[in-house]
Amino acid sequence: MESSRSRKRARQDWDGAGAGAPPPTERAVVARGGASPLWRDDDRDGHYVFDLGENLNRRYKILSKMGEGTFGRVLECWDRETREYVAIKVVRSIRKYRDAAMIEIDVLNRLAENERYRSLCVQIQGWFDYRNHICIVFEKLGPSLYDFLKRNRYQPFPVELVREFGRQLLESVAYMHELRLIHTDLKPENILLVSSEYIKVPGSKKNSQDEMHFKCLPKSSAIKLIDFGSTAFDNQEHSSIVSTRHYRAPEIILGLGWSFPCDIWSVGCILVELCSGEALFQTHENLEHLAMMERVLGPLPEHMIRKASSSAQKYFRRGARLNWPEGAVSRESIRAVKKLDRLKVLVPSIIFFLVMLILNLNYISRLQNKNMHFLVPQSYLLLVLSATSKRNTKHRNVKFKNRSI
């Protein structure tokens, strides 16, 4: 049985270059050899229309549809030249999505200039323009962390695995920030396991017949970031609203502008979700969202409230107090906020200190690159474990690398 708590966010089955999505609906297998199929019109939304077995130019053969998102579709293909499986993002033939795809290609190429990129972010293998569709060729990876949670009926990951995911994720984000890039759309759907392999272990829940449930764990903890279509360059003009709602930082809601700290906030929301199996802030309304933040993390800083945009001032009463519960739209909304626990209850003690630093409501003092010394594995362990470890371990000599579980 899935989590009893409703997941309010709209989801796509697959939103990146991974593997493990439900099998596609079978269609006719056609177009043998390297010939392209006859021209056909796109569907009404600008998606490329295809049949399994067709060719996507002479080099790539379409094997399955791995998923679909706002941007377009991801197809599993066979690369005749390298004789490898690849994932190709076929972008909708609409101007704004084509423009976003070109930005993503620029970002991916910039990331690829450094060898660190290969282990942190999905690798681009090339791109081409096919029948008015930008097609980006990626290495084929495993399922997203969200899909893995869903497969496990939203049972949480072991804390040791969450801690390792967090280390890699923060290192990936720090690398982007060093290049003056802001991802702006970090969420479990955009974090892919490198491998699809997993093992089954006894779960913590039993069914009505008192039978043990089993859950899956990835064999490897290695992950990579994907989906750079919303990435912003720090020195360019920004839109006022970014990030998927559940991972959106308070400064964005308050209209204070945003920069690198909004990515760090998203990481904190992700870590809590991986520990609990559920999105931390399940809402679609700004006032309720702010009330949830205060319930979990304490009151919003007064200086942020005073500087909030005119459109956000309506969420507050005199004295810089949130207009809650008076301003709630329904009793259900009040109950949704009231049932949330404080942060120290939501996450295991071994990573509480780290998550507390990340989910700082004050974006000015939130953990940032300039003080992310723990991203060096030894320092990371020293920071996160020193407060909770009872053993006299010489952390400076410990190396925390990607490992098999």
Q: What is the DSSP string of 316-374?
A: EETTTEE-TTTT-S-HHHHHHHHTPPPHHHHS-HHHHHHHHHHT-S-TTTS--GGG-GG
Strands (DSSP E) contained in 187-268 are 191-193, 198-206, 212-218, 223-225, 232-233
Q: pTM for the full model?
A: 0.83
Q: Look at residue 32 in the predicted model and tell me its pLDDT.
A: 53
Q: Look at residue 302 in the predicted model and tell me its pLDDT.
A: 95
* Backbone Cα Rg of the chain: 22
The whole-angstrom separation of Cα 123 and Cα 139 is 6
Q: Look at residue 210 in the predicted model and tell me its pLDDT.
A: 52
Give every residue of the chain whose pLDDT is below 50, as ranges.
Answer: 1-31, 373-405
The whole-angstrom separation of Cα 146 and Cα 11 is 10
Q: Look at residue 214 in the predicted model and tell me its pLDDT.
A: 82
DSSP 3-state of 109: helix
The token duo for 275 is 């520990």
Q: Look at residue 299 in the predicted model and tell me its pLDDT.
A: 97
Q: Give yes or no: 185 in active site.
A: yes
CATH value of 55-139 in 3.30.200.20, 3.40.50.720, 3.10.129.10, 3.30.70.100: 3.30.200.20
Residue 396: partners with Cβ closer than 8 Å, 6 or more residues away = 378, 382
Q: Look at residue 29 in the predicted model and tell me its pLDDT.
A: 39
The whole-angstrom separation of Cα 113 and Cα 115 is 7
CATH class name, domain 145-397: mainly alpha
Q: Domain extents for the chain?
A: 55-139, 145-397
Determine which one of 15, 147, 185, 263 is catalytic.
185
Nearest to 264 by CA among 351, 337, 171: 171
Return the residue matching tokens 């690849």.
Answer: 86
Q: Look at residue 384 in the predicted model and tell me its pLDDT.
A: 41
* Model confidence pLDDT, tens digit, residues 230-281: 999 998 888 999 999 999 999 999 999 999 999 999 999 999 999 999 999 9
The token duo for 78 is 């066979």
Q: Look at residue 375 in the predicted model and tell me its pLDDT.
A: 40
Q: Judge contact between 37 and 51, C-beta under 8 A.
A: yes
